[in-house]
A and B are shown apart, each in its own frame.
Chain A
Amino acid sequence: MADKLLAVENVSRHYKLPKQALFRPAPVLTAVDQASFDLERGQTLGIVGESGSGKSTLAKMVMAFEPPDTGRILFQGQDINALDAGELRLLRQDFQMVFQDPFGSLDPRRTVAWSIGEPMRAIGRAAPAEIRIRVAEVLEQVGLTAKDGLKFPHEFSGGQRQRIAIARAISTRPALLVADEAVSALDVSVQAQILNLLMDLQADLGLSMLFISHDLAVVASICDKVIVLQKGRILEAGDTGHVLGNPAHEYTRSLVAAARM
Chain B
Amino acid sequence: MNTRYLPANLVIGAILVVLTLGVALLSVFWTPYDYTQLDIVHKFQGPSAAHWLGTDQLGRDLLSQLMAGAGNSMAVAVTAVVLGGSIGTALGLLASAYGGWVEDIVMRLSDLSFAFPALLFAIMLAAAFGPSLPNVVVAIAFINVPIFARVARASANQIWTREYVFAARAAGLGKFAISRDHILPNIAAPIIVQATIEFALAILIEAALSYLGLGAQPPSPSWGRMLSEAQTLMYLAPQLAIYPGLSIVVAVLGFGLLGDGLRDVTDPRLSRER
Whether A105 pairs with B167 at a CB distance below 8 angstroms is yes
User: In B122-169, which residues have CB < 8 Å from any A CB?
Assistant: 162-164, 166-169
User: In B161-186, which residues have CB < 8 Å from any A CB?
Assistant: 162-164, 166-174, 177, 181-182, 185-186
Whether B185 pairs with A109 at a CB distance below 8 angstroms is yes
Q: How many angstroms between the C-alpha atoms of A122 and B167 in the bound complex?
A: 12
A40 an interface residue at 8 Å Cβ cutoff?
no
Whether A168 pairs with B172 at a CB distance below 8 angstroms is no
Q: How many angstroms between the C-alpha atoms of A109 and B182 in the bound complex?
A: 8
Whether B172 pairs with A97 at a CB distance below 8 angstroms is no
Given contacts A107-B182, A107-B186, contact A97 B170 (CB under 8 A): yes
Whether B174 pairs with A100 at a CB distance below 8 angstroms is no
- From B162, B169, B172, B181, A104 is in contact (CB under 8 Å) with B162
Q: How many angstroms between the C-alpha atoms of A165 and B170 in the bound complex?
A: 12
Q: With both chains docked as a complex, state the minimum distance between the C-beta of A167 and any C-beta of chain B, in angstroms.
A: 12
Q: With both chains docked as a complex, state the minimum distance between the C-beta of B161 and any C-beta of chain A, in angstroms.
A: 10
Contact partners of A110 in chain B: CB under 8 A: 181
Query: Number of A residues whose C-beta is below 8 Å from B?
Result: 27
- From A93, A100, A105, A107, B172 is in contact (CB under 8 Å) with A93
- From B164, B174, B185, A105 is in contact (CB under 8 Å) with B164
Contact partners of B169 in chain A: CB under 8 A: 63, 65
Interface string of A84-108 (1 = CB under 8 A from B): 0100111011001101110011111
Interface residues of chain B, those whose CB is within 8 Å of chain A, are 162-164, 166-174, 177, 181-182, 185-186
6 closest A-B pairs (Cβ-Cβ)?
A: A119-B171, A104-B163, A122-B172, A92-B172, A89-B172, A105-B163
The 14 listed contacts between A and B (C-beta, < 8 Å) are: A93-B172, A97-B167, A97-B170, A104-B162, A104-B163, A104-B164, A107-B182, A107-B185, A109-B186, A118-B173, A122-B171, A123-B172, A168-B167, A168-B171
